[in-house]
Amino acid sequence: MNSHRTDVRPGRLLIGAGLFALIATLVAADIAWDARAGTPPSHLVAEALVMVLALAGVAALWQEGRSARHDAERLRIDLEAAQEEARRFRNEAHDALRGLGEAIDRQFDRWLLTGAEREVGLLLLKGLSHKAVAEVRRTSETTIRQQALAVYRKAGLRGRSELSAFFLEDLLLPTSQR
């Protein structure tokens, strides 16, 4: 996936460009007013420089906005492609994933896990942190840690990595068998 800037908001750039354009317009009006009033040329040149800098700001922000819109469009396209790839994977792996889910359920039955322990175990297998599991289950992180420890104890495992390895280890075939 391509790296994209995420700190640029096109709307803010447009506001900035608008402000620079307003400044340039006001300075241009002031230059015209001063020229009619007979202001010395050195002052008019200084004001003209300010106007040119404001116009340069307009141009720079306009270009940055175009670039940000382009990046946003590329991100949208990349996201759609990733979502399509995930859909394709789910469709291709549907039967295997269903079989794995059934095997996990049977193993959880053999370990005599409670309903809460089963849910915690499954969420840990999905890669959620203790904090994220607590949020999903609307309970404290301490409770989740205790339930996770109960899962590991009942399974005879030492932690999350052994829990994952228990179910996934055989999915990775040796290089010669791929």
**Which residues, given as ranges, of the chain have pLDDT below 50?**
1-2, 4, 178
Residue 103 forms part of a structural domain: no
Does residue 89 share a domain with residue 11?
yes
pLDDT in the model for residue 41 = 92
How many CB atoms lie under 10 A from the CB of residue 24?
Answer: 19
pLDDT in the model for residue 61 = 87
Does residue 26 share a domain with residue 59?
yes
d(CA 147, CA 128): 14
Cα of first residue to Cα of last residue in the chain, in angstroms, is 25
CATH label of the domain that carries residue 164: 1.10.10.10
pLDDT in the model for residue 101 = 86
**DSSP, residue by residue, the chain:** ------S--HHHHHHHHHHHHHHHHHHHHHHHHHHHTT--HHHHHHHHHHHHHHHHHHHHHHHHHHHHHHHHHHHHHHHHHHHHHHHHHHHHHHHHHHHHHHHHHHHHHHTT--HHHHHHHHHHHTT--HHHHHHHHTS-HHHHHHHHHHHHHHHT--SHHHHHHHHHGGGS--GGG-
Split into its structural domains, the chain has a count of 2
Does residue 162 share a domain with residue 127?
yes
pLDDT in the model for residue 16 = 86
- The whole-model pTM stands at 0.49
Residues of the chain with pLDDT > 90: what percent?
62
Does residue 63 share a domain with residue 15?
yes
Residue 102 forms part of a structural domain: no
pLDDT in the model for residue 8 = 60
pLDDT in the model for residue 2 = 46
Residue 151 forms part of a structural domain: yes
Residue 147 forms part of a structural domain: yes
pLDDT in the model for residue 117 = 97
